[in-house]
Every structure is written in C-alpha cells, then in structure tokens.
Amino acid sequence: NAGVTQTPKFQVLKTGQSMTLQCAQDMNHNSMYWYRQDPGMGLRLIYYSASEGTTDKGEVPNGYNVSRLNKREFSLRLESAAPSQTSVYFCASSSGGTGTGELFFGEGSRLTVL
Amino acid sequence: DAKTTQPTSMDCAEGRAANLPCNHSTISGNEYVYWYRQIHSQGPQYIIHGLKNNETNEMASLIITEDRKSSTLILPHATLRDTAVYYCIVRGPSNTGKLIFGQGTTLQVKP
C-alpha cells in the first residue's frame, strides 16, 4: 500500500546548491502535482502534470523545474536553492479527468536552505 | 475557480458533531466543492466532494445550500483524532484536477 512516495524526507542545503526531490506513485494515476507549504500557511501549487509528457506551471513556479519521467514519477528540481525555498514539499497524484479532484498526497519532504 | 472563505479556527467537544462552514458565493454551476484535511504536518487527506446534492460517506457529510453559495462539512461524532486543518476548495471540472488550497479552518476537538 505505498501510494505516493517522496524522497528524501529531510534535506538541508546551503544557498546556491541544487537538488532534486523525487516522487513516485503506484496507483496508475495520470496526473501528478508538487505543492509547497510554508509554516502556518496553506499549500501552494508549484507545478503539475496532467498526463505523462506534459507539465504546467502552478501558482509559484519560479526557482523550480520539473520532469515527468514516466507515468509513475514526477521530480522537482531546485537549481540554485535560496533560503526562501525552505518549506515542506508535498507531491500528490490523481486519476485526472473531469470531476475527479481526489488527490492522494505523499508524506512530505522537509527542506531547509541555510 | 471560485474563492472560498472559512473561519480561521473552531472548537468542538469530543463526541459531538463538528460543523465546519464554507462560503463560496462566486461558485459557478459546474464547479465542485471539495473538502480535505491535514492532520499535524502530514499530507492532506481527501474527505468528500459534491456538486449540488448533499453527500455522505464513512468520514463525513457535506451539505450544500440550494443556491450553492455555501456548504457545511459535518463530522457526526468528532474524536480527538479529528483535530486538524480542514480545507474547503472549489474547482471546475476542466482544470485537470489541480486544487488551490486556502488557509483552512483549524478544528480543535477537546475532551
């Protein structure tokens, strides 16, 4: 019963370093998403992928890149990390299509940029 | 997608019904109302969604007013484990399933 798996769960970076957050789902879902959540705030959409081979910007895409590697995997890359990117990152997936907004979330990746 | 307005926080006694309101006065005819919750720092969890009719599942009931401008999530017998942030989200059917989260309501269930 893996669902949505994110790695790593914790990461500390120095300003300017790069890293990739990995996400994989085993539910054969078409759509995948990356959100960030800052302390005391709601989730904000960074990027999403409606289907394999497509990606689109969300509310806060600046400073990030994504890759939909295949149907299962959707990665988020920080090319040059900044302290403002300190946050908890959540990956989610859904079957997609009309009227099917049930998202399944991973446990989150906690990133600190010093 | 229509914007939603929720109270910042609410308290509920354990064993009693928790009624969480949500205003979405600009909702369009084809937009759905979704509810999610986030327990502590875990990933959000889907609760229920509806379009026009009231809905019920094993977790909760969703009551949508006839004009669809507001809704109420009902947890019939709240437990301490229901303490969480509850998000009311409105989205249309054609935006690929992406959800825009607001600030939500922090529900504190007390013994």
**pLDDT tens per residue across span A42-101:** 889 999 998 888 999 988 999 999 999 899 999 999 999 999 999 999 999 988 665 566
Q: What is the pLDDT of residues B86-106, one digit of tens each?
A: 999 988 766 555 677 888 999
Q: Residues A107, A6: contact at Cβ < 8 Å?
A: yes
Tell me if chain B has a CB within 8 Å of the CB of A53.
Answer: no
Q: Which of A73, A15, A4 is nearest to B43 (CA)?
A: A4
User: How many Å lie between the alpha carbon of A109 and the closest alpha carbon of chain B?
Assistant: 10
A38 and B CB contact within 8 Å: no
**Closest Cα partner for B17 from B62, B78, B83?**
B78
Residue in A43, A42, A32 with CA at minimum distance from that of residue A92? A32
Q: Which pLDDT value is given to residue B96? A: 56
Closest CA–CA distance from residue A18 to any residue of chain B (Å): 24
Instruction: List pLDDT tens digits, range B20-58.
Output: 999 999 888 888 899 999 998 899 999 999 999 899 999
**Residue carrying structure tokens 């609760």:** B47
CB atoms near residue B25 (< 10 Å)? 12
**Tens-place pLDDT, residues B58-82:** 999 999 999 999 999 999 999 999 9
